[in-house]
């Protein structure tokens, strides 16, 4: 009995020893839990909109914030991997995108913050932006890949009137090589032109990024363009028309290369003064006075070597019916006329020479006319506005 009891006591002791070991495991687990808790960051990252959100507004809806810590990293990208630029605030409490988001696009957001002990916390979200019912686009000049004269602005006309001009203007980025300050100016609510303070320098390369996709131009109306346009500034040609002397000096790089006898607007139809940019070229075109308010006064179906200077109908063009007016007196209805032949077949006449030596974006400056300076909005003629007014 005594031996049996001794065995039983050993067994109980063995069982008791197991219980003590179990207690030890509990203490270790407590230490591990405590260590895990101390390693967990106190920083809290919040992303709006929440994962799975749809029809998210392209502006103002995306926000990333951190409490009990500071943001250290925020990445926003679409399904193609294109990133959205943005900035973390100085205090690390928030991140905001630098621009609007594209419409009908899924975005993924990854954000990281650190607490005061340097421990990190991360949060992720994905959402899809709205698909707009009403949209607008912009038609622009000059064309992508073109070479243009030193007076050519980048001009964009919108298919809908814009009531949020700052947002739309911000969505258009222009860079140049060499660098020059380029500013935009609104003409009404559907046209936005960009130019430098003075005529472009020859050889300047201009790149325009139209990030209009998703920008809200007016309430409920969103842009749907995402396009890059590049053009190059060609040789410097500025032609100066003297309405009193009836001459046009064609200058390249400031040097006169040819002086051409011209006729400008007669009394009551004087040619605009000021700087006018060639915006279109036509080997032959029709000019009908009915289209510009001169009802029944003329209708010439074969005007040769015509180049548009204003939207209202001012051209520099060939003239085969002017007799001895060139260099002697003003006889036109406001255009600048150069001697030509009917059909424009003779490449040796002044009008043909000037047409062949001119490009879109070249400047024609008219002086000493009796008419006022042309309205800057009449054609691509913003050069007739001071730099201060242009920027304002």
Q: What is the DSSP string of 253-320?
A: TTEEEEEEEEE-B-TTSPPPBEEEE--EEEEEEEEEGGGGT-TTT-EEEEEEEEEE--TTS-EEEEES
Which CATH number do you get for residue 253?
2.40.440.10
Share of the chain above pLDDT 90, in %: 86
Confidence at residue 98, expressed as pLDDT on a 0 to 100 scale: 94
One domain, residues 296 and 336: yes
* CA–CA dist 148, 140 (Å, integer): 14
Residues 255 and 228 in one domain: no
| CATH classification of the domain holding 164 | 2.60.40.3710
Q: How far apart are CA 364 and CA 211, in angstroms?
A: 33
DSSP state, residue 100? P
Give yes or no: residues 248 and 158 share one domain: no
What's the angle, vertex CA 373, arms to CA 369 and CA 374, rounded to 5? Answer: 115
Q: Domain of 74: which CATH number?
A: 2.60.40.3780
Residue 38, domain member (yes or no): no
Q: How many domains does the chain have?
A: 3
Q: Answer yes or no: do 226 and 241 share one domain.
A: no
- Residue length, the chain? 392
- Confidence class of residue 186 from pLDDT cuts 50, 70 and 90? very high
Q: Which of 100, 317, 333, 357 is catalytic?
A: 317
Residues 294 and 379 in one domain: yes
Is residue 15 among the annotated active site residues? Answer: no
Inside any domain, residue 364 = yes
Nearest to 241 by CA among 206, 271, 217: 271
- Asked whether residue 16 is domain-assigned, the answer is no
- Angstrom distances, CA of residue 313 to CA of 79, 248, 301, 374: 49, 19, 15, 12
Among 107, 129, 151, which residue terminates a domain?
A: 129
Q: What's the CA gap between 164 and 141, in Å, rounded? A: 22
Neighbouring-strand partners of residue 353:
none
pLDDT at 299: 82
What's the pTM value of the predicted model, to 2 decimals? 0.85
Compute the distance between CA of residue 383 and CA of residue 10 in angstroms, rounded to an integer.
Answer: 107
Residues 344 and 198 in one domain: no
For residue 4 the two structure tokens come to 């049996």
What does each C-alpha distance from 117 to 38, 111, 161 come to in angstroms? 10, 18, 53
At residue 380, does pLDDT exceed 70? yes
Confidence bin at 28 (pLDDT 50/70/90): low
What three-state secondary structure class fits 347? Answer: coil
- State whether 264 and 330 are in the same domain: yes
Q: What is the pLDDT of residues 127-162, one digit of tens each?
A: 999 999 999 999 999 999 999 999 999 999 999 999
Predicted pLDDT of residue 209:
98
Q: Read off the pLDDT band of 296 (50, 70, 90).
A: low
Cross-strand bridge partners of residue 46: 65
Question: Over the stretch 345-379, which tens digit does the pLDDT of each residue have?
Answer: 999 999 999 999 999 999 999 999 999 999 999 99
CA dihedral 296, 301, 304, 309 (to 10 degrees): 50
Q: Give the residue among 38, 50, 48, 46 at the shortest CA–CA distance from 71.
A: 46
Note whether 257 and 316 are same-domain residues.
yes
Q: What is the mean pLDDT of residues 309-314?
A: 96
Domain annotation covers residue 187 = yes
Whether 307 and 331 map to the same domain: the answer is yes
In a shared domain, residues 223 and 338: no
> In the predicted model, is pLDDT for residue 298 greater than 50?
yes
- The residue segments making up the domain with residue 362 are 237-391
Phi, psi dihedral angles at 2 (to 5 degrees): -65, -40
Question: Is residue 166 assigned to a domain?
Answer: yes
Residue carrying the six token digits 């053009």 = 231
Q: Are residues 265 and 349 in the same domain?
A: yes
Inform me whether the pLDDT recorded for 22 exceeds 70.
no
Domain contains 178: yes
Tell me: pLDDT of 31 over 60. no
Residue 32 lies in a domain: no
State whether 271 and 372 are in the same domain: yes
Instruction: Report the pLDDT averaged over residues 188-201.
Output: 98
Domain C-terminal end among 168, 198, 233: 233
Exposure string (b/e) for 135-148, b if CB count within 10 Å is 16 or more? bbbbebbbeeebeb
pLDDT tens, 199-208? 999 999 999 9
Q: Write the CA distances from 158 to 192, 208, 221, 321, integer angstroms.
A: 8, 16, 12, 40
Catalytic residue among 100, 335, 357, 368: 335
User: Could you say which DSSP state residue 384 is in?
Assistant: G
Query: Of 129, 158, 177, which one is at a domain's C-terminal end?
Result: 129
Examine the residue annotation and report whether 185 is marked as an active-site residue of this protein. no
Question: Domain for residue 338, yes or no?
Answer: yes
């Amino acid at each position: 009995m005594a031996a049996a009891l001794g065995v039983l006591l050993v067994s109980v002791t063995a069982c008791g020893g197991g219980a003590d070991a179990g207690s030890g495991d509990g203490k270790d687990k407590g230490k591990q839990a405590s260590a895990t808790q101390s390693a967990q960051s106190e920083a809290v990252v919040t992303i709006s909109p929440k994962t799975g959100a749809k029809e998210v507004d392209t502006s103002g809806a995306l926000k990333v914030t951190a409490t009990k810590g500071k943001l250290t990293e925020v990445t926003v990208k679409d399904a193609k991997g294109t990133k959205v630029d943005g900035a973390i605030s100085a205090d690390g409490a928030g991140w905001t995108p630098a621009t609007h988001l594209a419409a009908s696009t899924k975005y993924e957001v990854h954000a990281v913050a650190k607490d005061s002990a340097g421990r990190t916390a991360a949060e992720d979200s994905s959402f899809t932006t709205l698909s707009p019912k009403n949209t607008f686009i912009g038609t622009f000049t000059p064309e992508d890949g073109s070479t243009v004269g030193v007076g050519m602005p980048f001009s964009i006309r919108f298919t809908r009137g814009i009531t949020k001009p700052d947002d739309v203007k911000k969505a258009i980025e222009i860079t140049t090589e060499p660098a020059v300050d380029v500013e935009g100016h609104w003409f009404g609510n559907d046209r936005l032109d960009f130019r430098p303070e003075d005529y472009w320098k020859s050889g300047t390369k201009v790149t325009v990024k139209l990030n209009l996709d998703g920008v809200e131009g007016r309430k409920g109306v969103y842009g749907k363009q995402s396009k890059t346009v590049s053009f190059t500034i060609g040789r410097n040609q500025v032609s100066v028309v003297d309405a009193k002397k009836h001459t046009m000096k064609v200058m390249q790089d400031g040097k006169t290369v040819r002086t051409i006898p011209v006729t400008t607007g007669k009394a009551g139809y004087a040619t605009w003064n000021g700087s006018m940019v060639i915006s279109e070229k036509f080997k032959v075109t029709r000019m009908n006075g009915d289209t510009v308010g001169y009802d029944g006064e003329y209708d010439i179906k074969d005007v040769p070597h015509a180049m548009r200077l204003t939207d209202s109908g001012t051209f520099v063009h060939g003239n085969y019916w002017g007799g001895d007016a060139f260099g002697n007196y003003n006889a036109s209805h406001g255009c600048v006329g150069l001697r030509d032949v009917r059909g424009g077949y003779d490449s040796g006449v002044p009008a043909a020479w000037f047409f062949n030596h001119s490009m879109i974006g070249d400047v024609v400056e008219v002086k000493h006319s009796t008419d006022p300076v042309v309205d800057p909005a009449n054609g691509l003629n913003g050069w007739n506005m001071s730099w201060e007014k242009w920027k304002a």
